[in-house]
Structure 1
C-alpha cells in the first residue's frame, strides 16, 4: 500500500476532531454519562499517569463519553489543567487498517498519525 502522506492532514485522513464537531454543533447532547466524563477529565488533568482508554462492548457508550468530553472542551468546562486543550481526535481504525496487507503497513500508518 502507498505510504501515508506527510503533514497535518495525515491525522485528518484517519480520524475526526470531535472538538471541532462540537463547536460546529454537530454532536448530539450526551445524557447520563456525567460520572464517566468527570472521571475521564480528572484523569486527563493529572500531571502523570494521565491516559484514558475507553473500552467496552459495542453500544455501551464509549463514543458518547468521548463526544461529551469534546463538548466540555469546546465550552471550556474542563479542569484548569486542561484549559489549553483544543482538540480531541477519534481515530477510525477501519480506515487505518484498510489496504494494509503487508507486514508493517499498519504500524507505519499509525506512526505517521501519531507524529
Structure 2
C-alpha cells in the first residue's frame, strides 16, 4: 500500500512528504519556517506591528531561544515606550483643549 499523497495548502499541487517547500508556488510546507519567521521578517513585523509581533517570534522554528528572548525584551520595551508616548500625547491634547475652552491663564 502506498503512502497517501499530500498537497500544497496554497496551490493544491501534489508534494512529497519530504519536501520543505512547494515546487509549484514556493510556499513553506512546514509551519513556523516561512519568511515572516526569519530574523528579517520578525524585524519587519516589529516595525509595523510593534509588540503584537511577539506570537510570531515564539512560534518561529528558525531562530534560537536566546534570540527569542532578545526580541521579546526589545518588543516589550518598545511597547512601554509607545504606551508612555501615547499617554503624554493624550495629556498634551487634554491641556490644549482646556486652554482653548477654559482660557486658563
TM-score category by the smaller chain? under 0.3
TM-score, length-normalised on structure 1? 0.26
Q: Look at both structures and tell me which one has the larger radius of gyration over its CA atoms.
A: 2
Higher relative contact order (CA 8 A, sep 6+): 1
Higher helix proportion, which one?
2
